[in-house]
Amino acid sequence: MRIAVVGGGAAGFFGAIQAARQNPQAQVVILEALAAPLTKVRISGGGRCNVTHHCFDPLLLSQHYPRGSGPLRGLFQRFQPKDVLAWFAAEGVALKTEADGRIFPESDQSATIVRALVQAAQRAGVQIQTQHKVQAVQRQGSEWVVTWQGGGLRCDRVLLATGGSPQGYAMAQRLGHQILSPVPALFTLQMADPDLRALAGITVPQARLKWLDEPLRGPERKHREQMGPLLITHWGISGPAVLRLSSWLARSLHQCHYRGRVQVNWLANWSREQLHQRCQVLRQQVARKSLGAYRPALDLPQRLWRYLLAAAHIPPNRRWAELSQQELERLLAHLTAQVHTVTGRGVFKEEFVTCGGIPWSEVDSRTMQSRVCPGLYLAGEILDMDGLTGGFNLQAAWTTGWVAGQALGATDHG
């Protein structure tokens, strides 16, 4: 049997290796457009490659995917982060888990992962052809013809694993697949307020963000509030809370051209009631101290506190005892529900993914075979699936690649 894998990324490599291991008689070839395979793996995680996430429960794990969670839940029953750890351990690569659950190679170098994948592929007898930019994948009778500039090959099965590449989408479309329009997920937000941006570098441990504007699509509506650490940057806001929001609301935010209003609660660990009580206590306990010198919570950075006082039009030299009821209300509103104008989308350099691609209704998730084109298999980011930041995107590529590889190598179906 001859198997062509179009795209030498994470999903393509896992698919090719698994197919070759499953069926040692099969001739498996990876066709990669670029001069080197696995370029995204190489740059992933800021060069450290966040391989997967320490979450071994398929149901919990699947909840980290704004798109694709349903089929992925079933797929994770078959190949999940524990299996990734075992897979790389068998290849001699030790992985380590960081405090937030992200898993990296112990070397802290993505090159370790790239090397392991290339060596595993070579040992399994997979041929790796770089600088082979595939232009067409066509069915001819019972065979497939895969062509690139200056050449082509015939094979029995094809795995299309071209990630978010427009050429890959176009080839899938020509084979009869729909493509849900790809839009970015996992980005930061640009903010209008220059005084906020002047606080670049400040982080808060637990913020809550709420997207205030329509349009919000039905399923996205329930994710319009996200919590987590937040980082103020030169252009706006970043950090886990922002990335989660951008991921869950990727389509809505695209629809409104990344413009709208977001409400920020800077102290999400506190309820408004608790903060109110805390301020009442301070009015008594530190009555003679100025507001500027004494902040209500230690997890509120001093510069951010002064900015919030200014936003609430309260002079920093006002003493706690002199804080009027009206001022207290204004202050609480800025602390827990400050409204900001978002002017655009920023980038997130450590990880970038697109949502959209081939809909799951057109794929048999037991085998990753196309329902539209028998003999064609699909894996990785070409599908309408994407996860939150933290190793979830590569995990989805490993899992779908592995499952596709099992089916590609099997001899009992067409």
Given the rule CB under 6 A, which residues bind ligand FAD? 6-12, 31-34, 39-40, 43-45, 49-50, 133-134, 161-163, 165, 167-168, 350-353, 380-381, 391-394, 397
What is 364-382 written as a DSSP string? ETTTTEESSSTTEEE-GGG
Task: Report the residue number, 108 or 329, with the smaller CB distance to ligand FAD.
Answer: 108
Smallest separation, CB 177 to ligand FAD (Å)? 15
> What does the block give as tokens for 396?
């989805």
Task: Report the residue number, 137 or 191, with the smaller CB distance to ligand FAD.
Answer: 137
Task: Report the residue number, 243 or 267, with the smaller CB distance to ligand FAD.
Answer: 243
Assess whether the previous peptide bond of 215 is cis (omega < 30° from 0). yes
* 153 closest CA partner among 246, 31, 327, 249: 31
DSSP β-bridge partners for residue 253:
none
Smallest separation, CB 16 to ligand FAD (Å)? 11
Which residue number has the CB closest to ligand FAD? 9
Query: 260-265 and 236-238 as β-strands: parallel, antiparallel, unpaired?
Result: unpaired
Smallest separation, CB 9 to ligand FAD (Å)? 2
Question: Torsion angle, CA of 271/307/301/207, rounded to 10 degrees?
Answer: 40
Q: Round to whole Å and give the CA distance between 326 and 329.
A: 5
Smallest separation, CB 401 to ligand FAD (Å)? 7
Task: Report the residue number, 43 or 293, with the smaller CB distance to ligand FAD.
Answer: 43
* 360 closest CA partner among 352, 350, 372: 372
Task: Report the residue number, 186 or 331, with the smaller CB distance to ligand FAD.
Answer: 186
Smallest separation, CB 389 to ligand FAD (Å)? 7
Task: Report the residue number, 7 or 58, with the smaller CB distance to ligand FAD.
Answer: 7
Task: State whether residue 217 is helix, strand or coil.
Answer: coil
Q: Round to whole Å and give the CA distance between 284 and 287.
A: 5
Burial 328-339 (b: 16+ CB within 10 A, else e): bebbbebbbebe
Q: Round to whole Å and give the CA distance between 334 and 223.
A: 22
Smallest separation, CB 10 to ligand FAD (Å)? 4
Task: Report the residue number, 152 or 292, with the smaller CB distance to ligand FAD.
Answer: 152
